[in-house]
Amino acid sequence: MATTLKLFVTFEGPEGSGKTTQIERLAAVLRAGGMTVLTTREPGGTRIGNAIRKLVLDRAHTEMSPRAETLLFSAARAQIVDEVIRPALARGEVVLCDRYADSTLAYQGFGHGQSLEALRQLGGYTTGDLVPDLTIYLDIDVQTGLARKRAGDAKEWNRMEEKTLAYHEAVRAGYLELAAAEPSRWLVVDATAPVDQVHAQILARVQLALGQHRPA
């Protein structure tokens, strides 16, 4: 029988940091331990979110403005929070989400130079002030990460990844600044380390978080 123990964990990182691999490995271990685990991603995870994902990541949409981009990502996020994440947490499940509100601060805030204060206000409304219990940040230098992405499935190369190297550098710097500001919520992991080593670091921190959330 699966154990109900709600925990909301998000994964962040530059392109090619290996989030998908680490989410899958973590979910497998937690499920093997008898926990009910939901994995999902942003943008996407719902019928509406998947439609927005196709629109916002389409390489043909070069004219998309930063504000339009921000609102599209936010719309997909509002839908997944209401339709998927909150119900799963209410059922006592562990939720692992590939990207969340911190992505908007990093990509649309630090990357595009938009107001972080305005984006935080929008994020609060978008998520209903739902904050992750733990955020795993997989850090990798931009050139290495983009090279990893280019070596993968060409269909996965999207509009965000085509942005300039300077843009991606600003995103990474923004992530590191966000993590430094909230060390109790963020775990920064070197994504260039061996996959097993990265997984071990993540698992140890998640097990600690699970212990903290276990009913007395």
pLDDT digits (tens, 9 = 90+) for 135-168: 999 999 999 988 887 787 656 667 777 788 899 9
CB–CB of 18/195 below 8 Å?
Answer: yes
> Looking at domain 7-213, does it have CATH number 1.10.3720.10?
no
- Which SS3 state, helix, strand or coil, does residue 12 take? strand
Give the residue-averaged pLDDT of 102-107.
Answer: 97
> If you search the block for the tokens 């050139």, which residue do you land on?
143
In tens, the pLDDT along 6-25 reads 899 999 998 889 999 999 99
> If you search the block for the tokens 């965000």, which residue do you land on?
160
Sign of CA dihedral 8, 44, 170, 108: negative
Comparing 59 with 66, the larger pLDDT belongs to: 66
- Which SS3 state, helix, strand or coil, does residue 199 take? helix
In tens, the pLDDT along 16-65 reads 899 999 999 999 999 999 999 999 999 999 999 999 999 999 989 989 99
What type of residue sits at position 36?
Answer: T
Helix H segments across the chain?
A: 19-32, 47-57, 66-80, 86-90, 101-103, 116-127, 142-150, 165-181, 195-213
Q: Where are the domains of the chain?
A: 7-213
